[in-house]
Structure 1
């Protein structure tokens, strides 16, 4: 990047003189002749960056971006695992394949006298874990051949005896789901038909995805039963007998209190996307209440891609004396994702611009993220009325409706999905090549929300592929928020010049095309 990485002064994304100067494409990259053509929607050369009263965006509290030397130190040669299953959805759920770059894993042990670099705390093969043959068979059924970087360090700590707590910060696609699943499978007693491990996720969509991973990895374990604890009227009064339970906090808490879920034998508690659950007022309270209902000896495992400092402090209280593992997420979050932005005249103009993008959105699959449920519903109704095929997914829908919509999206029956942040975390759909930030993510108080931005754009560019994330800017406030987010992470987003829509169309289509072909695109910052 051209900006000084050591500077603490937030810097605005720079508008390039020419998109072709900033993004180089392979000559073989193609275009979609069926894509809708673009027409200018604003005054030539207009930019909200030129119309902001103050050039200084709001600061976001956190350490400044790492220096270039620090970043380079954590980046090794890329290693590809052919036909490897991802950390996210399984093949049946149309998940991505794992193409993991090697990054440094930082380990902080709860035992201050222990050496985190001790070979005992790292493995290079699954055989070193002395797993039961049926569990190993499940690993190979997932097409894993060797541990990922996070698994190398996390698995020995997770599976050591006596069990110890773990807090892990790692990007989607680094092997965390498989890691905590292996730990669970190694600890459950299948001769006892009672719940012994509990995995909680912030949304039913992520819970169902994790459930699929556990079922595939445990398919050869005799007597194993995996149950779900998500809202389902058809199973309202049924008692859960599966040794492994995957669910959402509210439903799980309700089932324990109704004595439909016997928690007396729970050995392992896992929170996926833990920062999101512990930080949200409702979910955080529910997670705490669930833990109170579990045995005091339960092994607590927290995983997430982001852990803000204030949430990490609470995580240490939720999982006391925990070992900690982190990956350098500042490199991982932007790798493979081409981050662009464009200027809209006003909030109403955003919809017109979105419609012009429709032909590009349907080349593979795309997710449009909005702030409010009402916005998602309004966009869906207007686009459907104009003959466009889209679907929307928000927390306002009933569970069965949400399941049907996400399944349609996974299967490719719906190419464009409009969603609130309910889908921003953990969801893995291989075909997603574009994310649209229709609304710049913000916190409840209106401040910029950098963590949600990273989770949103992480739905594309999955596991070594190239993806594109485009943010719509419609006024001074949205520009300042976007600038604050990009400044925090040292991102220099490229401005799409809407005075030349032919160029916009050409650039975006070639990024998407290269994503589908697995071609690397060099973006010179």
Structure 2
């Protein structure tokens, strides 16, 4: 939006963006993570926190529910001026987090979508029952051989599996890129920009990309592994954010889940939570795969 405003500049307060001591932030908008913003405001004194006029927590459910982020966000919030406007955004707000948010923002205006609107009814969801990662990879290749794919995002639960999948796809001639938390800020930006520009058709990612990336050409999202909390609980919010990378801007999308037999209860709990049906597909039934787009 800033490109339409004259002389509006943005600073990035993120780990790895080192600024020399004595720096005074002159940019009107500062985007950052709570820990780095804390350092900029209190330790390094790059900016006067009393001059902040609008304080925004994006993906507020995460910032409020994770102890470290929560403590850091609250410390910043308590140092703001009394007339600073506060805005909290998230696609999902569980009740405990919502109650906590109301403590931070007294007498708030709350705008909510109905739960059925959060299920993203324009996204058709399917699953394949697979034995192992090699089985999942074969199912993925069958998808590519049967369905017209614009661009796709594939989510893995671990960096190890993401790397394995990246090298497997690259070796087989697919144009893929890898996005994970171990990349630097600049490297992440380059990977995402190349994907936005259509230079890479497949983006393999850990949960670092589950939120916040909007690419119109994404027609398919694949959960190479289901998102979990701990060992045996499905992470409903992350699932919603992941599949929400497709079906954006009013378009239809497809979501495929690769599920080992012992993880089927996780899938069924996701169905129950969102009151939706995730249809089973046979990865070897090419005719059925081809009909999905009809």
Taking structure 2 as the reference length, the TM-score comes to: 0.91
- Bigger RCO (CA 8 Å, 6+ sep): 1
Could you say if the C-alpha distance between residues 243 and 446 of structure 1 is closer, same or farther in structure 2, counting changes exceeding 3 Å?
same
1:250 matched to 2:250? The reply is no
Report if the CA contact (8 A) 2:128-2:256 is conserved.
yes
Counterparts of 1:270-419 in structure 2, within 5 Å, are 270-359=56-145, 363-419=149-205
Could you say if the C-alpha distance between residues 302 and 491 of structure 1 is closer, same or farther in structure 2, counting changes exceeding 3 Å?
same
Give the unaligned 5+ runs of structure 2.
Answer: none
1:480 to 262, 265, 281: 265
Aligned residues: 292
SS in 2 for 1:464: coil
SS in 1 for 2:214: coil
SS in 1 for 2:11: strand
Report if the CA contact (8 A) 1:362-1:415 is conserved.
no
- Indicate the structure with greater strand content: 2
CA–CA distance in structure 2, aligned partners of residues 300 and 319 of structure 1: 7
2:232 to 446, 463, 469: 446
Report if the CA contact (8 A) 1:346-1:475 is conserved.
no
SS in 1 for 2:153: strand
SS in 2 for 1:357: helix
Q: Give the root-mean-square deviation of aligned CA atoms.
A: 2.1
SS in 1 for 2:173: coil
CA–CA distance in structure 2, aligned partners of residues 239 and 453 of structure 1: 40
- The Cα of 1:234 is off from its aligned counterpart by 6.2
Q: Give deviations 1:38-92, integer Å, cap 9, x for gaps.
A: xxxxxxxxxxxxxxxxxxxxxxxxxxxxxxxxxxxxxxxxxxxxxxxxxxxxxxx
Larger radius of gyration: 1
Could you say if the C-alpha distance between residues 446 and 298 of structure 1 is closer, same or farther in structure 2, counting changes exceeding 3 Å?
farther
Where does residue 220 of structure 2 map in the other structure? 434
CA–CA distance in structure 2, aligned partners of residues 252 and 438 of structure 1: 34
SS in 2 for 1:434: strand
CA–CA distance in structure 2, aligned partners of residues 306 and 361 of structure 1: 31
CA–CA distance in structure 1, aligned partners of residues 257 and 34 of structure 2: 32
Give the unaligned 5+ runs of structure 1.
Answer: 1-212, 512-525
Could you say if the C-alpha distance between residues 426 and 438 of structure 1 is closer, same or farther in structure 2, counting changes exceeding 3 Å?
same
Q: Give deviations 1:304-336, integer Å, cap 9, x for gaps.
A: 111011211211122222222212142243221
Where does residue 3 of structure 2 map in the other structure? 216
Could you say if the C-alpha distance between residues 250 and 507 of structure 1 is closer, same or farther in structure 2, counting changes exceeding 3 Å?
farther
